Structure 1
Amino acid sequence: MTTDPRPLYARATAQAARLIRTVRPEQLTAPTPCTEYDVRALLGHIVGGTRRVAVVGEAGDGQGEPMTAPGVPDDGWAKAYDEARELALKAWASDERMASSVTVPWGEISGRAALSAYVMEIVAHTWDLSEAVGRPLALDPEPAEFALAVAREALPEEPREGRPFGAPMPAPEGAGPYERLAAWLGRVPLSRA
């Protein structure tokens, strides 16, 4: 990927922040298309993952960072995400970090490739959350198109053992970029599950 992922990461995380602000307390136990998480656990993964993104951007290695966010109160998810998001955006601001090598759970790669993968992750989880809470906002298609291109390049169709993604599913005819990304990652919309 030659596209600078920073503007798309900023847009995707701003969109996620808007979506997180719509989550109501009674929705926290609802299921998500990311079947190992309910809404509360997915929010913890999003916040914890964004904190890891910030550490990778700051230090080049986030291996020890948890992918959860224990201790966030039910009414504190939006604030916790906003704080993590701001740290991540700041950590990835330099051109030097984009060109240097970083260590992520799947290996040592360029900062550009890592942040591109993190765009894919936040876009996928934004779709998961949107599905779980009834699609309260229209989602920006451009980050999803970018995330789909990253996913197709980074994730082989088969085999996917040891990866947190299922086998690709067929996308419905006329599916938009979020639905095509979700299908590539092996997710099924809750309405079809």
Structure 2
Amino acid sequence: MSTRTGERGPDPRPLFDRATAQATRLVAAARPARFTDPTPCREFDVRRLISHLVGVTRRIAVVGEGGDGLAVAPFADTVADEALAVAYEDARAAALRAWRDDARLDAEVAVPWGNVPGRAALAGYVMETVTHTWDLWEALGRPGTLDPELAGFALGVARTVLPAERRGPDVPFGATVAAPERADTYGELAAWLGRSPLGEKN
């Protein structure tokens, strides 16, 4: 896939490919012994976070196929611990296949935040994947490095669709917090979505 920009906005598929590949590496690195560890996403431990990554990736795959993504559970609660990494790889592969058709980018689709063009939906899932990848990276002790371009794209999406004043019980992200001094783009993204690095208080 190549990145193409048209009057309706950029093609998010290459970034979704990269974002889910980055997530795949971290999901594969998470061992069941770490599954009860906390993450910056306060309501999720490591297992719940990975389960959510599987669920939302399955959801955007179904959206790309023209199905009802809202009917797909946002968690993979029935998947055994030792099978979660494979479940994520399978969900990622299904999503990449589902979005091959260029026509899906401009078709209206239903996602939890409303009815939007496919490209906007997929961009939103890039943001979610990148954000939760940072959550997992923090929880696992920051192994390796993360792709800064993905964070820049996700931050742009977050600032557009989740302005600081749009938070509350119906929005699954907390109020913005101050980014740590000298924060990189991931730190800025996390702060915009109400997160702080583990060990730091909001």
- Shorter-chain TM-score tier: over 0.9
Aligned match for 1:170, one of 165, 173, 178: 178
Map of 1:78 onto structure 2:
85
Q: TM-score, normalization: structure 1?
A: 0.97
| 1:184 matched residue in structure 2 | 192
Summarize the alignment of residues 29-178 of structure 1 with structure 2, pairs less than 5 Å apart: 29-161=36-168, 162-178=170-186
The higher-RCO structure (CA 8 Å, 6+ apart) is 1
Q: CA deviation at 1:60?
A: 4.8
Instruction: Provide the aligned C-alpha RMSD in A.
Output: 1.1
The runs of 5 or more residues in structure 2 that have no matched partner are 1-7
- Which runs of 5 or more residues in structure 1 are unaligned? none
Aligned to 2:3: none
3-state DSSP class of the match of 2:10?
A: coil
SS of 2:110 mapped into structure 1 = strand
Q: Deviations over 1:37-78 (max 9, x none)?
A: 100111111101110010111115311110010222211121
| TM-score scaled by length of structure 2 | 0.92
| Percent of pairs with identical residues | 58
* Conserved? CA contact 1:57–1:88, under 8 Å: yes
Partner of 2:33: 26
Tell me the SS of whatever aligns to 2:81.
coil
Number of residue pairs matched? Answer: 193
